[in-house]
Structure 1
Amino acid sequence: MAEYFLGRRDIASFTIELDRGNAVLQCNVAEYWSPIIHDSSKCGATLTYELSKKTGIKESEKAAFEDSLEASIGLKSIGQIKAVAKQKLTTEVHWESVQEEKRTVVFPSPECGKYTALQYQKLRDYHFTFQEKKWFHKNSWQSYFTEHTKFYHDDSKTIDPDPSCNCKPKEPIDFDGLLHIDFGDTSTIAPFRKSSTGIEIELSGKKANIEATGDSSFIVDIPLEYVPDSLKFLGDMKEGSYEATATPYSEPVITQELAQAYEVEAVEMTIQPLSSSEGEIEVES
């Protein structure tokens, strides 16, 4: 899942016996989110950005690790180690040489506000420690590489109005919390407020009514047009709609700054949560 978090997390540690038990490779794995866009535009201006999507590990880091293994025990392939890593992490791992794809994306800002584009990619650091167990020869070394995963998070925000635009002040909207929307490989956030029919969210410049309480997680189908363009590219999202896990984070008091940060021009729609695979979606024009 593309759960966004702050800081760095140690997620796994495993040991592999190599060379018929004559050597041990210890691996410690940590994950963190790294910004790939942190830029802004305001007062009606448009931000044009060349977005880069990378997957895999640097060729130089991969070669250094492979060379160390071959020199120590003659192992020419890291396939065995990759298979163990995949099993321990219970997710896909991408240890191929980095593949990069670029696309120009546009981020508009409100006439009287500021749009901050915040896009993150999850990186995974591997720290290897090799130790031979032969009594007459105890070769040891350490190696590192960083994997660019296929997990992305959009944390972009809008502040409207922005004082520097010299527009007439607007009344802030009171929100009850944030909704983390997780598509699996990608995720985003949306502010929400409770209503008589469920909760209202603002997503990708559009307003949505969701028939949910806002007190617990639920499953929804999100039409593709409500997914930010940058996230469509990063997550290779091309289908008509995507099932997502929506998790509300309620707070007793939402500050005025947060309320202003998510005030956008809205287009109405209604989404019905999917309690099972038989759920339906209702969209109002």
Structure 2
Amino acid sequence: MNNQVVKDVSSVKDRFTLAGKQAIVTGAKGGIGKATATSFAELGANVAIVDLPAFIEESKVVAAEIANRYGVKTIAVGCDVTKEEDIKNMVKAVSDAFGTIDVVHSNAGIFVGNDHNNMPVEEFKKIIDINLTGMFMVNKECANLMIEHGHGGSIINTVSMSGTIINSTRLEKDYMVAYTASKGGAKHLTKGMAVNLIKHGIRVNSISPGYLISGAHKFMDQIEVDYWANSVPIKRFGDMDEITGIVCLLASDLGSYFVGSDILMDGGACIC
């Protein structure tokens, strides 16, 4: 006989909490980052709103709104994720304010409209630096703090369905090169770090959203919005309510058996 024990099912409600946890969200002044930071706070976590130094005043407003709404502790920290020193200072600032870091949503990222085979090398490098190298540095510094403090944690990376497929840019005029490369790399970065860090009790996973109403759509013409909406089986964009639950699942004890997983939430776009 083996020594595996069948346990009674425990309370889902009791495990779906972040009470007492200290969380960081990068790219948090708006869009996905703001939504997940707000959701972390609703589940009881103290949250650091991390975004570019140029947006620190906007980040402070978001932090204050969340603190007032949920009664948790929040701080706003300016950080350029392409700069290692910025990241080290950010992690120290959060640790000094909260005592430690338990949950990280590494969400900062960009894409550009002129993403194609002949794009300038500087633009290609910029996307890789933010979407991939920046994610690696944030994950590394936060994981090292978790290890130093002797507790586990959860790191959730924002990838994209572009880590699974090669997206067209605008109305299939061209296909993305740098963005898809960065997101494919981020997906495998997640898996590589996951297998190395799980021995420390640190779970690393990723989410891969499809077309979401997160701010970028504001710069599209209506014909483009309609085109993208009709290109997926669900025939619409997703919204923030449809992504926050998945991130919170991975952050909480409900996600305790997710290790190196990528959760695709794309309205069926990658099926066809």
Give the TM-score range, shorter chain.
Answer: under 0.3
- Normalised by the size of structure 1, how large is the TM-score? 0.24
TM-score when normalising by structure 2? 0.25
- Which structure would you say has the larger Rg? 1
* Structure with the higher fraction of residues in helix conformation: 2
